[in-house]
Structure 1
Amino acid sequence: MNLSQQDWKSKLDRDTNAVILDVRTPDECSDGIIPGAINIDIYKGQGFIYAVDELDKTKNYYVYCKAGGRSAQACQIMNQLGFENTFNLEGGFMQWKGDVAFSIEE
């Protein structure tokens, strides 16, 4: 599901079962990340699918990339893998107005 920046953030703030997923490259992540995000680079192809498939499918995933395209694709892949709740951040990190961190939580 595509959500506007405001809807994505307000839904995330109220969600106690949320996981933030950044699908950008490690190099892009050096520009900053949304605090608490985990990073799985969608450009890893099959490696991305393997990594995502190991995630807890009962969680709600708030997915973003730089502009919103790759994260929309990631949500589609995740839905095909059995994830029921994936939320794409429209406009991506480029339009993000919330908090920014500069280290990824492992």
Structure 2
Amino acid sequence: MKNLTQEQWSKEVREDEKAVILDVRTEEEFIEGYIPNAKNIDIYKGQGFLDEVEKLDKSKNYYVYCRSGARSAQACALMKQQGFDNASNLMGGITDWEGDIQK
């Protein structure tokens, strides 16, 4: 897992043809606003989260965020355990995000 600053994360997402943005907050948080093109899988769903992650394409590169960076770091660790070698955590989460927010 890589912890990336907002600048690093944004740059990698823009330049990566295999980028998938993953929001691991609750559905309620997601509806309030999210980074454009993000897919929402709530980490608090426990086994449901793991089941959804298992359906993801392991050849893609995942850019994961939450509200502050803690849940997304945990999600990256869980993804690594499931065989994903390419998950990057957004440090500071959406709270520190200065880019576009979609509602």
Q: TM over 0.5, yes or no?
A: yes
Instruction: Give the structure 2 partner of residue 30 of structure 1.
Output: 31
Please, what is the CA RMSD of the aligned residues? 0.6
Matched residue, 1:79: 80
Aligned counterparts of 2:9 and 2:91: Cα–Cα separation in 1: 8
Q: Provide the rounded CA distance (Å) in 1 between the counterparts of 2:12 and 2:40.
A: 20
Distance 1:35 1:51 in 2: 20
Cα deviation code 1:51-105 (max 9, x no counterpart) = 0011000000000000000000000000110111100000000000111111xxx
Q: Which runs of 5+ in 1 are unaligned?
A: none
**Equivalent position amino acid for 2:87 in 1:** T
Mapped partners of 1:54, 1:30: distance in 2: 23
Percent identity of equivalent pairs: 57
Equivalent in the alignment of 1:57? 58
Normalising by the residue count of structure 1, what TM-score does the alignment of the two structures yield? 0.94
CA distance in 2 between counterparts of 1:29 and 1:50 reads 19
Between the two proteins, the alignment pairs up a number of residues equal to 102
Distance 1:77 1:85 in 2: 12
Look up the match of 1:20.
21
Q: Does 1:2 align with 2:3?
A: yes
Q: Does 1:42 align with 2:43?
A: yes
The runs of at least 4 aligned residues of structure 1 exceeding 3 Å deviation read none
